[in-house]
Amino acid sequence: MTDPPLSPPAATAPEAPTAQPHSTAQPPDTAPPDPAAVLRARLDAGLRNLALCIAYDGGPFMGWQVQPHGPTVQGRLEEALRVLTRRPTTLYGSGRTDAGVHAYNQVANAWLPAGQDLGKLRAGLNGLAGPDISVKALAWADPEFHARHSAQGKCYRYLVFNRPYPPLFERTRCWWVRPPLDVEAMRAAAARLLGEHDFSAFRAKDCAAASPVRRMRAITLSLAGPPEEALRVDLEASGFLQHMARIVVGTLVAVGLGKLTADDVAAILAGRRREGAAATAPPQGLHLLRVDYDQKRFPELRALLADDPAAGTP
């Protein structure tokens, strides 16, 4: 999961509808398309920008982004849109969640022919996407809105089941850690990660992000339940590098087990070496809770994201 750097680029129109949907390669000696020209062409063709709020169980999928081998959330929804609109459509997500990672409020956008009945379209998408995906809301968006480029931050929630016996009802949505965790020590270590830093120590070695600098706005640890009490780790940042949220959680759990200290975490951050941090926490405990946008710039998103993402979530 790689998100934009601390200061994301200005919102630009996505690739033209005639471009290959999952390739950014340009033919030799060909300049990249002019975003303004692409936008004009789409509007002239009678297309409108549709924003979607989506929840999904990541267990059955190989992540958000279309993959050549195996089902993905993007692929499932693009196929549903193709059937309903009778035209190929590319869906642009706010980020690429990994295989097994869940989402309460993923945001995406796509360009569709004007005149769509959004109520019928949502019903059709939910009918075709399958039981592991829920299209929660749709809204026509500003032409310059882009789910990824317009994002200003994200919030992830990680669930840790910290009991000597295994979880039952939440076993596919949490990480089972048997030994008792020192939550106060974890909170002290989490405080060392707040602010703007180079998070190279907390990203995958093959992370392709141009800059490792992100601003960690908050890390909150709290207990939640019943039916099965879990430790919730909520992480809010300007953006997340590939595996960043899971490596942070894995490192905080190592602190809770007494393997690392808060001072160790500060040194790991300063050292900027992936080998210094702990192992990456497993994917099934991670949930995309919220994506933040400038709702004054894009007021149509207020209705799309009206539900409180923290309400009623484990």
- Tell me, what CATH number does 216's domain have? 3.30.70.660
Q: pLDDT averaged over consecutive 10-residue blocks of the chain (314 residues)?
A: 49 40 48 83 90 97 94 97 95 95 97 94 97 97 96 97 92 95 97 98 93 97 80 97 97 98 98 96 97 95 76 43
pTM for this one? Answer: 0.86
Are 166 and 282 in a shared domain?
A: yes
Chain centre to alpha carbon of residue 296:
22
Q: Give the other-Cβ count within 10 Å of 118's Cβ.
A: 13
Which of 301, 310, 239, 307 is CA-nearest to residue 50?
A: 301
Same domain, 45 and 133: yes
Q: What pLDDT is stored for residue 9 in this prediction?
A: 39
161 and 272 inside one domain: yes
- Picking from 130, 150, 170, the residue at the C-terminal end of a domain is 150
Q: Does residue 247 sit within a domain? A: yes
Q: Is the dihedral of CA 227, 233, 239, 243 positive or negative?
A: negative
Which of 120, 150, 180 lies at the terminal end of a domain, its last residue? 150
Give the phi and the psi of residue 298 in degrees, each rounded to 5. -125, 75
* pLDDT for residue 34: 86
- Whether residue 26 lies inside any domain: the answer is no
Residue 202 in domain: yes
Domain assignment of residue 88, yes or no: yes
In this prediction, residue 30 carries a pLDDT of 62
Do 268 and 160 share a structural domain?
Answer: yes
Cβ-contact 24, 259 below 8 angstroms: no
Q: Domain for residue 98, yes or no?
A: yes
Number of neighbours of residue 245 by Cβ within 10 angstroms: 28
pLDDT value at residue 13: 40
Asked if residue 99 is part of any domain, the answer here is: yes
Return d(Cα 63, Cα 54) in angstroms, integer: 14
Among residues 106, 135, 150, the one where a domain terminates is: 150
Catalytic residue positions? 98
Sign of CA dihedral 300, 302, 307, 310: positive
Same domain, 59 and 159: no
Number of structural domains the chain divides into: 2
Distances (CA, A) of 262 to 22, 161, 269: 42, 22, 11
- Say if residue 140 is in the same domain as residue 168: no
Domain, as residue range, for 89: 37-150
Residue 20, both tokens: 């290959």
Whether residues 83 and 207 share a domain: the answer is no
Nearest to 33 by CA among 45, 17, 49: 17
My answer on whether 160 and 279 are in the same domain is yes
Integer CA distances (angstroms), 37 to 14, 19, 108, 182, in order: 11, 14, 22, 56
Same-domain status, 119 and 179 = no
Task: Tell me, yes or no, whether 5 lies in a domain.
Answer: no
What tokens were used for 207? 């992370």
Residues 87 and 164 in one domain: no
Same domain, 219 and 120: no
In this predicted structure, what is the pLDDT of residue 19?
40
d(C-alpha 181, C-alpha 163), whole Å: 9
Domain shared by 105 and 145, yes or no: yes
Looking at residue 226, its pLDDT comes to: 66
Three-class SS of the chain? CCCCCCCCCCCCCCCCCCCCCCCCCCCCCCCCCCHHHHHHHHHHCCEEEEEEEEEECCCCCCCCCCCCCCCCHHHHHHHHHHHHHCCCCCCEECCCCCCCCEEEEEEEEEEEECCCCHHHHHHHHHHHHCCCEEEEEEEECCCCCCCCCCCCEEEEEEEEECCCCCCCCCCCCCEECCCCCCHHHHHHHHHCCCEEEECHHHCCCCCCCCCCEEEEEEEEEEEECCCCCEEEEEEEECCCCCCHHHHHHHHHHHHHCCCCCHHHHHHHHHHCCHHHCCCCCCHHHEEEEEEECCCCCCCCHHHHCCCCCCCCCC
**Residue 231 in domain:** yes
What are the tokens at 286?
């991670």
Q: Which CATH number belongs to the domain containing residue 93 in this structure?
A: 3.30.70.580
